[in-house]
Amino acid sequence: MFTKKTLFKTTSCFLIMTCFLLGSFTQKSYAEEDLMDFAEKSGFPVKENYRPKASIVIDADSGQILWEDQPDLSWSPASIAKVMTMYLALEAMEQGKFNLDTTVTATEKYVDISQLYALSNNKISLGVDYPVRDLFSMVAVPSSNVATLMLANLVSDNDEAGFIRKMNEKAAELGMTNTTYFNCSGAQISAFDGLYQAEGIDPNGDNKSTARDLAILTYNLLKKYPDVLQFTSKPVVTTMENTPYAETFETYNYSLPGAKYGYDGVDGLKTGSSPTGGFNYIATAKKGDIRLIEVVLGVGDWSDQEGEYERHLAGNAILDHAFSTYEYKKLLSKGSNKINKKEINLEQDFYGFVKKDTQPSFKLVDGQLSLTNNYGQVSPNIPVHSVRYQESTSPADDKPSAKHEKKNSSAPSKTNKTEYNYLVSAILAILGLLLLVFSRVFRKRIAGVRRGSRKMATPTTRFLFILGALLLLSAIGVLLFL
């Protein structure tokens, strides 16, 4: 004899099996697909041998991670290391040590470095004064190693080892826990043929970082020094304009609008490539009020220069995925709200990043409401966006009305649950009846084949009959629990 418990178990097993079967035929949501899937859909297909080794995309305002893949993989950032050099130069300017019009005079050492064929560079002429604003453009666009060293030495008063120590100190301060710098430009000190000296620093040391750490660096850079984008947003730049030393450079950031793989909204930031790091890329893009930061590391192999272009297909696909999957909107209004079964009063409207067509969930901790996010913050040093709340308290004479409101507010959900149970019960009953009918039909067919024999049950007909009966009982079980 079937008990309620047995019926409940039978119903549950059937529903689980049904969900599993339906799930196997249901296409994954856009937000749940991996890079190779959503890259194809976005129109920026990524070949398997150019899949990034690590990548991440975050909201530039809150530091919320929107998507990631191997974000803590240790990797050589190559010329992306120059972003930290620019950060420290901008910080020195903020401290009043120099400004964009300050000049650095080209010495023989700088001229010799500019002529090293193995390093990315630009022309430097002996005795010429190079303004800091032009050095920034030389660092950001042609990724000039000599301009990077000139800028670093300006910051550190020519203490090359001291500047590298500043880089590591700043990394630690920003929470870049898996980053170590051995040089200011991404090129090993030993590659400078003795022209770059940093006492106490391993000349063969290769900078190491992660996608997460580089996203943290870029987040802080854009928060504190957003004007850096003036040096990274153009596909073509000319330095030392209106002088005999003018040079024009095309960007390596092929995702900038107007470049080979232009993506709407991209306005920086830095590319990097090396034998140990492959092809890397930091990008930032803005659409409407939303600005994103992405980091892509380890695309392709240094021996295959196609990686220089393919990193931008991956980068564009990741940006497109984030812009298409998420939206920033008002989630809760100021005043009374019911969150996690608590009546609370918010001090102000609450906005946040959520996946489209989903219901957000919230956390209430120590009087602060925040959004629950599967990926979390890019760094524990970057606090999650929150708004203060107070739990609602009602006077004694208001309690009956409060209970009445609570009852009314919960009524729709109960009604929905009841309607859902009726639907499930009806489906189970129909399936059960169909199986019972099929079992009878099969018995008749068997009797027809065996001429003159009476209707006999077979293993198949017994199975159909038992399964049909179980489905009918399950339907009854669902109704019993209404």
Which sequence positions are flagged as catalytic? 79, 82, 143
Distance CA 35, CA 457 (A): 54
| Lateral strand order in the sheet of 368-371 | 335-339, 342-346, 386-391, 368-371, 362-365
Residue 47 near residue 323, CB atoms below 8 Å: no
Q: For residue 270, say whether it is annotated as part of any ligand binding site.
A: yes
Contact 217, 286 (CB under 8 A): no
With CA atoms as reference, report the closest residue to 458 among 448, 467, 469, 447: 447
d(CA 439, CA 472): 14
- Measured between alpha carbons, how far is 247 from 244 in angstroms, rounded to an integer? 9
What is the three-class DSSP state of 116? coil
Do the Cβ atoms of 199 and 285 come closer than 8 Å? Answer: no
Grouping H, G, I as helix, E, B as strand and the rest as coil, residue 457 is coil
Q: What's phi and psi for 89, nearest 5 deg?
A: -70, -40
Nearest-angstrom CA–CA distance, 296 and 283: 8
Q: Which residue has 């920003």 as its token pair?
A: 174
Q: Phi and psi of 104, rounded to 5°?
A: -120, 125
Which element (helix H / strand E) includes 423? helix 399-449
Going by the DSSP 8-state scheme, the letter that residue 467 receives in this structure is H
State how far the Cα of 267 lies from the Cα of 366, in Å rounded to an integer.
39
Please, which residues have CB within 8 angstroms of residue 133's CB and are 6 or more apart in sequence? 100, 101
Q: In whole angstroms, what is the distance from residue 467 CA to residue 342 CA?
A: 44
Rounded to a whole number, what is the distance in angstroms from the first to the last CA of the chain? 21
Cα(240)–Cα(247) distance, integer angstroms: 7
Q: Residues with Cβ < 8 Å from 253, sequence gap 6 or more?
A: 232, 235, 259, 266, 268, 269, 270, 271, 281, 283, 312
Return the SS3 of 3. coil
Residue of 99, 116, 121, 138 whose CA lies nearest to 241:
138
Neighbours of 202 (CB within 10 A): 12
Of 199, 204, 219, which is closest to residue 159 (Cα–Cα)?
199
Residue list, annotated binding site for substrate: 270
